[in-house]
Amino acid sequence: MRRREILLQLSTGVLAAPALLSARRASAIEPVDVELVLAVDVSRSVDPAEQELQFRGYAAAFRDPRLIDGIRNGPLGSIAVSFFTWSDWNIQELLVPWIRIDGTASAARLSDALDAAPRRTHLYTSISGAIDYAAGLFGRSYEGTRQVVDISGDGVNNSGRPVAQARAEALRRGIVLNGLVVLDRTPPPPQFAALQQPLDDYYMDEVIGGPGSFLMVAEGFQAFEGAVRRKIIREIASKPPAGPPAERATA
């Protein structure tokens, strides 16, 4: 916690460079502007084509010069990113362990790793399991002024413990939970639509939380790439703008 206080003071200009150097020497954990965990839904509701659009969307985002500029413009000029897929309460697969991104070359390594990563589909949707797994990834190699989990999905929690429990524990640790919802453009039959809360409302009420948290809504998987890019640029900002709690992206 002391290191995070130092980093927060640095980001506001309170500390001089020698204090940061002292903090570096005191620990092997490397300071970055943001620790960002990307958590991607691969439950059975996401077909192979839609899963491919998700992977390509994240890979394209880290090849975008606008995102690279956003990273470089941070107080430390670097972020740390990890990427895992999730489905059932006990199924999470870490496809890209923590990697430091500080420019075009390192961002390209992340994108290349996503291009080469295996595509697997599982059954259920455990948002609580994803939150618990993501929370356990922080503090291993890097420490940022903020710890952010970016959860993308297209369904409600139907496996594992209640989302409220996992969410509350993460928020107590100071972790920010953001959401990226993919809406099915084909509306469900009226008899089913009335039984379930709209997915974007569900994420707003039950999933996201923490200072500056927000939801990005992709109107169909074809809008996913643009939604991802906009979302990550907003997440890595050194002083996240006071944007709307929910944004929408269309193809």
Instruction: Give the per-residue pLDDT at 249.
Output: 75
Residue 110 resides in a domain: yes
CA distance 56 to 135: 25
Residue indicated by tokens 């997915």: 199
pLDDT in tens, 38-51: 999 999 988 888 88
Cα–Cα distance list, 88 to 36, 46, 74 (Å):
22, 13, 36
Label residue 8 by pLDDT band (50, 70, 90). Answer: low
Of 84 and 222, which is predicted with more confidence?
84
Instruction: Give the per-residue pLDDT at 211.
Output: 92
- Among the listed ranges 29-33, 39-43, 179-183, 203-207, which one has the minimum average pLDDT value? 179-183
pLDDT value at 228 more than 80: yes
CA distance 195 to 193: 5
CA distance 132 to 167: 8
Label residue 240 by pLDDT band (50, 70, 90). Answer: low
Tokens read off for 189: 């039959």
Instruction: Give the per-residue pLDDT at 62.
Output: 96
Residue 15 resides in a domain: no
pLDDT value at 15 more than 50: no
Tokens read off for 76: 């430390």
Cβ–Cβ < 8 Å for 247, 219: no
Domain count, the chain: 1
Residue 82 resides in a domain: yes
Residue 101: strand pairing partners: 79
pLDDT in tens, 69-116: 999 999 999 999 999 999 999 999 999 999 999 999 999 999 999 999
pLDDT in tens, 127-142: 999 999 999 999 989 9
Find the mean pLDDT for residues 209-214: 93
Residue 22 resides in a domain: no
One-character DSSP codes across 70-110? HHHTSSSS-EEEEEEEE-STT-EEEEEEEEEE-SHHHHHHH
Residue 24 resides in a domain: no
pLDDT value at 10 more than 90: no
Residue 3 resides in a domain: no
Find the mean pLDDT for residues 229-242: 80
Residue 180: strand pairing partners: 152, 216
CATH number of the domain that residue 180 is part of: 3.40.50.410
Instruction: Give the per-residue pLDDT at 25.
Output: 45
Label residue 16 by pLDDT band (50, 70, 90). Answer: very low
Label residue 245 by pLDDT band (50, 70, 90). Answer: confident
State which residues form the domain around 245: 31-249
Residue 2 resides in a domain: no
pLDDT in tens, 176-195: 999 999 886 555 555 555 56
Most confident of 164-178, 189-203, 211-225: 164-178
Residue 21 resides in a domain: no
